[in-house]
Amino acid sequence: MSFLKDLFHDKKKGESVVLIDIGTGSVAGAYAHYGEGELPVLLYTRRLPIEVRADEPRDQAMIRALAILGDTLIREGAPVLSRATGSGSADAILVSIDAPWQETSIRTESFEQETPFVFTKSLVVSTLEKTKIKAQGKMLADESIIGTILNGYETRDPYGKKAHRAALIVLTSLIDEHVAKSITSTLQGMYHTRDILTIAGSSLRYQAMQKAFPHERDALILDATGPLTSIALVRKGLFVSITEVEVSDTDTVDSWIERVRNELAELAKRFPLPRTIFLLAREAEVSALRETLDAANLGELWLSDNPPKIVSVLASHIVGLVRQTTAATPDLLLLLMALYFQHRTPEEKV
């Protein structure tokens, strides 16, 4: 009996998922399996470049690369999935979409009454429906509750409890509507499942980082995995702010760090800055960006001679939370996707 066949105790239990990561320069895919009581397992991974032809829109080149990726996943990856689980079919598809086709925002919804009220899921659903964000040409891909505060205290299990005051911290993903429809139709033409979940890449990574580093209650997450660098502030385990820095092809590293510094300075006017910065970047770029941040004297923004601690997040930080059986080099973004899907419980979907 092969190692892969020994990996799962009961092939009828669990869920198989196709993970699709869409960035500005590449697309990646993976087959992941979630067995009962097991760590998520990446069975097959592949990343392909997006090659833009002359006078071709980038989204058209991306869809073409996605089609090639899908064909590769079915031809090479599905047999691996079948050998490991007894079936080559996927139960769901999770699609993470990055700039320039997505945007992420945080908002707070508050409730207050003179007499105590019971905080229920139906109250949350009706509130989010009334306050749903709408934007021309954008599709609401995901609204995730990333924090609940009852009577001034963060509460992990709020439903059914009484409160005078409550607040929800909501992380919202908006995706270009035309691009989202093209991605969905492309994937539907390849897979039988209609359970296709889309989310902005930055939103997914913020939530996965909470699971990867649960004890870091105060931190900055600097996501430089794409052309749109975003900065998320986490205080007391809650996301309280997200800001974005747009980077063009003509920008230098010096201009990038200057924009990052300016955003951090604006953030420092509203909140005390934590001393830990998590740096998310492509494996080939993370060392250079880390050196740039180290040399930028960011400690001045903390009004201290001591610079903040910069932690380069690598695939090795995640491999203890997600198993990988393929010999391919671990892909940080796919590992974070696998971790995110594992913790996307019905209670968190609302």
**Domain range list for the chain:** 3-100+177-202+316-349, 103-174, 214-313
Note the pLDDT tens digit of each residue in 78-98: 999 999 999 989 999 999 998
Does 3 score more than 50 pLDDT?
A: no
How many alpha carbons fall within 13 Å on the CB side of residue 269?
5
In sequence order, what are the residues at sequence separation of 6 or more whose Cβ sits closer than 8 angstroms to the Cβ of residue 160?
118, 119, 120
Query: Does position 13 have pLDDT exceeding 80, yes or no?
Result: no
Mean pLDDT of 127-145: 85
Q: Are 314 and 332 in contact (CB under 8 A)?
A: yes
Contact, 337 vs 208, CB < 8 A? yes
pLDDT tens string 289-348: 999 888 888 888 887 777 889 999 999 999 889 999 998 999 999 999 999 999 875 444
- The domain 214-313: what is its CATH number? 3.30.420.10
pLDDT classification of 210: cutoffs 50, 70, 90 = confident
Q: How large is the average pLDDT for residues 225-245?
A: 83
Q: Give the span between the Cα atoms of 195 and 174, in whole angstroms.
A: 19
What mean pLDDT comes out for the span 185-207? 88
Amino acid at 13: K
Q: What DSSP assignment string belongs to 147-187?
A: EEEETTEE-SS-TT-EEEEEEEEEEEEEEEHHHHHHHHHHH
Q: Is the four-CA dihedral 211, 217, 223, 229 of positive or negative sign?
A: positive
CATH architecture, domain 103-174: 2-Layer Sandwich (3.30)
The yes-or-no answer to whether 3-100+177-202+316-349 and 214-313 have a common fold is yes
- What global pTM score does this model have? 0.85
Q: Identify which of 107, 132, 123 has the alpha carbon closest to the alpha carbon of residue 158.
A: 123
Backbone angles phi, psi at 254, to 5 degrees: -65, -45
Distance CA 282, CA 163 (A): 44
- Rounded-to-integer distance, Cα 232 and Cα 222, Å: 7
The whole-number pLDDT of residue 10 equals 45
Structure confidence at residue 239 (pLDDT): 81
Tokens of 112: 């207050």
Region 3-100+177-202+316-349: CATH code: 3.30.420.40
> How deeply is 141 buried, as exposed, middle or buried, from its count of CB atoms within 10 A (0-12, 13-18, 19+)?
buried
User: Reduced to 3 states, what is the DSSP secondary structure of residue 113?
Assistant: strand
Residues composing the chain: 350
Residue 159 above 50 pLDDT?
A: yes
**Of 2-11, 167-176, 299-308, where does mean pLDDT reach its minimum?**
2-11
- pLDDT tens for residues 20-41? 999 988 999 999 999 888 899 9
Cβ neighbourhood burial of 97 (10 Å; 0-12, 13-18, 19+) = buried
Q: CA nearest 163: which of 176, 153, 175?
A: 153
Q: Residue 214, preceding bond cis, omega within 30 degrees?
A: no
pLDDT of the residue at 311: 93
Q: Which pLDDT score is estimated for 221?
A: 93
The pLDDT, as a whole number, for residue 346 is: 45
Chain segment 141-155, per-residue pLDDT in tens: 888 888 889 998 888
